[in-house]
Amino acid sequence: MNFDSYADRVVGMAATLVNALTPGEHGGRPVDTDEAGLTARCAAVLGRPVQAAEAAALGRLAERLRPAFLAAEDGATDRVAELVNALLADYRSTPRLSRHDGEPWHLHFAGAGGDTEWGASCATGLAVVVDSQATGRLGVCRADGCDRVYVDVSRNASRRFCSESCLNRTKVAAFRARARATS
């Protein structure tokens, strides 16, 4: 998938936020969503220090992004569009051309609404995915004991797992099941 570099980057961030900040399982283990560690997890995702208020806002954003991935996995495109429209409205995504750090002019979508700049960006990135009829590129890991999400950027849209480790674990389990069935 290559909508444009910006959308690719922010949709990737949407998946990263969902995976780091929403409860559930990753590779058979519960995801640590302990409140006390939230700020540190956000800082790890953003690669910079994060204040408690922003961390809480990122947590709320992640909770709202996750259903869009679940609906996409179910093929419920209308539902994805509905969820993304609500995000665009609530985070007041505002396109603005920007040029900095020696980059050419490019679009930013930081909004005036909400309390984290990532809300408007993630909402807009997901809107570009829907607009490109590419919601099939958003998915939820098919491995047992895992519900993390992913953005499929493979050439042939073949991705089904959140990570190499989930892919490998599933392959090994399938191999063992076949071996048992034939022995």
**Per-residue contact track with Zn ion, 126 to 155, x per CB under 5 A?**
---------------x-x--x-x-------
Q: How far is the CB of 136 from Zn ion (least distance, A)?
A: 18
SS3 state at 140: strand
Is residue 162 part of the contact set for Zn ion (CB under 5 A)? yes
In terms of CB distance, is 28 or 49 closer to Zn ion? 28
Q: How far is the CB of 97 from Zn ion (least distance, A)?
A: 38
Tokens of 174: 């399938």
DSSP string, 29-57: EE----GGGHHHHHHHHHTS---HHHHHH
In the chain, beta strands by DSSP E:
25-26, 29-30, 96-98, 106-108, 138-140, 149-151
Is residue 166 part of the contact set for Zn ion (CB under 5 A)? yes
Q: Kindly list the residues in this chain that would bind Zn ion in the complex (CB under 5 A).
A: 141, 143, 146, 148, 162, 166
